[in-house]
């Protein structure tokens, strides 16, 4: 496991890179914001709904 300080540093770095990717044209990396937030311990508010939707989705 990562040490808490290392985990928070990596999370902050990923959020920063995600924000930069958000404002940079033609860069599909803004999803890194959510990865960084997850490392900080914040979960998406609608994560349970997303999982249920993916589970019940038909192909």
Residue labelled with tokens 């900080």: 40
pLDDT tens for each residue of the chain, 59 residues long: 668 888 888 888 888 888 888 787 766 777 777 777 777 777 766 677 778 888 887 65
> CA 55, CA 48: separation in Å to the nearest integer?
11
CA distances from 43 to 8, 37, 47 (A): 15, 7, 7
* Residue 24: domain span: 4-56
**Domain count for the chain:** 1
12 close to 33: Cβ distance less than 8 angstroms = no
Nearest to 11 by CA among 43, 45, 34, 44: 34
pTM for the model stands at 0.56
């Amino acid at each position: 496991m990562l040490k808490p300080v290392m985990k928070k540093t990596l999370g902050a770095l990923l959020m920063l890179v995600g924000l930069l990717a958000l404002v940079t044209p033609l860069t599909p990396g803004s999803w890194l914001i959510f990865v960084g937030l997850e490392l900080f311990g914040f979960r998406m508010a609608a994560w349970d709904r997303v999982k249920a939707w993916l589970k019940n989705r038909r192909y």
